[in-house]
Structure 1
Amino acid sequence: MHRDEAVVRLAPGTRLTGPAVRAVDANGLTGDDGWTVATVPIESVEHAHDEFLRLGTAIEVLEPPELRARITATVTALARTYA
């Protein structure tokens, strides 16, 4: 995986935008559960964080670790706010 890529897991029916659509179509592997794992291009960890958060639970970031950690921190903070 390159620094400008992320490995994601997408819920059935979830569509990304831009170059990520082509990447999912080209290398996405759909499991028996209907979720698709794919390597997608990202502009930066910061940009991907914002873009992927809008998808809520329809996406799981598997790599890179720094993006996963940043999303985890944001979701944890949101959970504290809304608890």
Structure 2
Amino acid sequence: MSESGFDLQILRARMAGIGERLDSVWSEKLRDHRHLDRGTKECAYWHSGYHQALADLLCLIEGPQPIYGSGDTSNPCRAAG
């Protein structure tokens, strides 16, 4: 399997795990749609998560970029935020 195929498998597995929680454990918490209300902490968390997801996707597309001074970290991708 190609590296990009493996990356897609990882993304699909993450989505499946999060989707299960959204449909079960978190579904009641999402009914209020507080993540859509500007100025709430839920909105900030939602945008933070979305920003990180986009950064992760760019990292997969562009490939790992070296971050100087981060030799002791395990994630080769640049952290968002």
Rg larger for: 2
Could you say which TM-score interval applies, normalised by the shorter chain?
under 0.3
Larger fraction in strand? 1
Relative contact order higher in (CA < 8 Å, ≥ 6 apart): 1
Larger fraction in helix? 2
Scaled by the length of structure 1, what TM-score is found?
0.23
